[in-house]
């Protein structure tokens, strides 16, 4: 297990049990969405000053781990 994942918490009483950066109410999925839409790490750290770069890396590690565990159906493109 990636040690960065210790920065992620899942508590049914916080944010409906969604994975968050430990000690915050910032969803991992929010960080991943921002990054996927082109927000830079620097912009994220500026927008959310309570985050550290390791938190963003933890969100990426969590996303990578989830992609190993779950499949997301993506339509196959015709060539």
List the CATH number of the domain containing 37. Answer: 1.10.10.10
Residue 78, pLDDT score: 63
pLDDT of residue 75: 61
Tell me whether residue 35 is in a domain: yes
Domain that holds residue 13: 3-67
- Please give the pLDDT value at position 67: 85
Q: Residue 39 — φ and ψ, nearest 5°?
A: -70, 135
- 11 assigned to some structural domain: yes
Residue 16 lies in a domain: yes
- pLDDT value of residue 2: 83
Residue 74 lies in a domain: no
Q: Split the chain (79 residues) into runs of 10 and give each run's mean pLDDT.
A: 88 90 96 98 97 97 85 59
Residue 45 in domain? yes
Residue 38 lies in a domain: yes
Phi, psi of 14 (to 5 degrees): -125, 125
Contact assessment for residue 45 and residue 58, using Cβ atoms and an 8 Å cutoff: no
Q: What pLDDT does 36 receive?
A: 97
Residue 79 covered by a domain: no
| Residue 41 maps to a domain | yes
């Amino acid at each position: 297990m990636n040690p960065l994942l210790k920065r992620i918490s899942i508590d049914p009483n916080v944010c409906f049990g969604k994975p968050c950066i430990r000690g915050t109410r910032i969803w991992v999925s929010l960080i991943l969405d921002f990054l996927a839409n082109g927000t830079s790490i620097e912009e994220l750290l500026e927008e959310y000053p309570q985050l550290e770069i390791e938190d963003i890396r933890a969100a990426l590690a969590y996303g990578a781990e989830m992609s190993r565990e779950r499949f997301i159906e993506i339509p196959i493109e015709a060539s």
